[in-house]
Amino acid sequence: MDLFEHQAKELFARHGVAVPRGRVAWTPEEAESVAAELGGTVVVKAQVQVGGRGKAGGIKLAGNPAEARANAERIIGMDIKGHVVRRVLVEEASQIAAEYYVSILHDRAGKGFLAMASAEGGVEIEEVAARDPGAIVRVPVNPLAGLRPYHVNQLVYGAGFDPRAHRGAAEILTRLYDVLIAADCMLVEVNPLVLTADGRVKALDGKVTLDDSALYRHPDLVELRDTFAVDPQEQAAKERGLNYIKLDGWVGIIGNGAGLVMSTLDVVAQAGGKAANFLDVGGGASAETMASGLEVILSDGKVRSVLVNIFGGITRGDLVARGILDALDRLGDQVRVPLVVRLDGTNAEEGRELLAKSPSDKVVTAATMLEAAAKAVELAGATRGGE
């Protein structure tokens, strides 16, 4: 679960991480009131769970409360990369002398944590990694030992932080590790971590990803989810117990097993398409599960075709086929896009026979994953005239 910036900063502040004074506002009037309380120049920042807010015009300076209100009026309601802005963070402006990047995250490959730092903050860290990998210092951290002072020194000295920032950055890194452990986070990130003109170091931005599987231990953090704008497809999938993630493409994807679904996304991209979602129906999908999955995907107006890629181990091909046919009957005229189905493994032949007898002209079968992906991309183009 990703937190909004203001929620991340509230969590940081609980653990002593220095952050600018500020408060979230849901209306322009609230933004004006907060700016009046803070006094001086403030920053009005769109609260969306996606990067690139500044480039999209979602971060603006305001010299007085009236200007803060005007900026909030412009920002609230904006669409930033498909995310509608429903609130803004109004906080005191900072005189920035230098910008840095710091983060601590779970490192599955290393079976521990990974702490990172860079003197090139304030920009997308992916850009820095691609342009100059050496500009990012990476320090593995053993969870049994924790983040030690020598780790912190490796980060701040190795990344070339201004000497004036060493002490403050070291303190914030230590406290960020406390946040990571205390809240069961997958990621804590500050970009930028800033050195101000008067020599203070503080988190000007904040990103936190919580481990969903540990939320039962944090009822206070679960409550934060109530303020999220939930995507209707993702909400419908959650209610049906489906593992669904919405993406920004036009080929719907259903598979059984996360590895197979990820491979299917790659093959669709190789065929020139773009996946609309990730949907894993699991290892023992029933006809009801398949029908529910199709209903969720077909409710997305951007979907132009659906690729069902099933390898039958526990999942039987005939049950998958019955689920598809059941969904077609249930949805009726709502099914306006072709369904490309690739079945392999247990009872795959029986499943293909059932699909072949379907009166619907929307069902297309394929023998291999590559063939299925190519057909799905081709039919998607034929349905809406390509992308």
| Residue whose C-alpha is closest to residue 20's, from 204, 233, 295, 210 | 204
Residue 189: active-site member: yes
> Which listed residue (5, 30, 189, 378) is catalytic?
189
Burial of 302 (0-12, 13-18, 19+ CB in 10 A): middle
Phi, psi of 270 (to 5 degrees): -60, -35
Cα–Cα distance for residue pair 363/352, rounded to 1 Å: 11
Burial of 227 (0-12, 13-18, 19+ CB in 10 A): middle
- If you search the block for the tokens 């920009």, which residue do you land on? 123
The neighbour count for residue 357, using CB atoms within 10 Å, is 9
The strand pairing partners of 243, in sequence order, are 280
The four Cα atoms 319, 302, 58, 56 give a dihedral, to 10 degrees, of 120
In sequence order, the 6+-apart residues with CB closer than 8 A to the CB of 264 are 253, 255, 275, 307, 309, 369, 373
Cα–Cα distance for residue pair 123/106, rounded to 1 Å: 22
Which runs of E-coded beta strand occur in 35-184? Answer: 42-46, 59-62, 79-80, 83-84, 88-92, 96-107, 112-118, 136-141
**DSSP label at residue 284:** T
Phi, psi of 277 (to 5 degrees): -170, 170
> Which listed residue (30, 91, 100, 101) is catalytic?
101
Cα–Cα distance for residue pair 285/16, rounded to 1 Å: 47
**DSSP label at residue 349:** H
**DSSP label at residue 2:** B
The strand pairing partners of 363, in sequence order, are 339
C-alpha separations of 325 from 129, 253, 289, 332, 357 in Å: 47, 17, 12, 10, 10
- If you search the block for the tokens 């190789």, which residue do you land on? 270
Give the active site residues: 101, 189
